[in-house]
Amino acid sequence: MTKIRSTTVIAIRHNGEVAIGADGQATMGNTVAKSNVKKIRKLQDGKIVTGFAGSTADAFTLLERFDEKLSTYGGNMKRAAIELAKDWRTDRYLRRLEAMLITANKDEVLIVSGTGDVIEPDHDIAAIGSGSMYAQAAALALKKHSSKLSAEEMVKESLNIAADICIYTNHNLVVEKVV
């Protein structure tokens, strides 16, 4: 998978809830360009929520294509993700895009990459971006030891822990729940 720097996005399914969140920092090289970017988007009337890491323009292109695939396949998230990954890998224009997506509905969480991967992560936790390993480790610990927390609370806490460690992640969080 491509290593994307400059953000942290995490999605968690826990106790029948699904939440996805991201920090708001955008960087250009080693400089913070903007601190309140919204990297989370609701699709299909909030039934599917996506988050992106990487080049913003590339991610918006992928989100548009993903939304088209969702419409084509009647809202079937997994099928739309697989078809997007196929196109992303084989299309001459799309394969140059530098971004990754997490997409979630009430039943599943997926990571979609430009290498053709559609990954169903272990433990119902998906993370991408420069702070992803910090957020994922925090989420695993929270899920294992704090079953009283909601998915949304786990996402927030995991992102805050990542922001404390990763210089490409800030504390301006956007978190959405899947309806």
* Residues involved in catalysis: 7
> Where do we find the tokens 């729940």?
177
> Where do we find the tokens 């971004």?
99
> Where do we find the tokens 């992303």?
88
Instruction: Report the candidate in 122, 119, 169 with the shortest Cα–Cα distance to residue 143.
Output: 122
In angstroms, the Cα distances linking 149 to 16, 115, 130, 137, 144 are 12, 34, 25, 16, 11
> Where do we find the tokens 């490409």?
168
Which residue type occupies 26? A
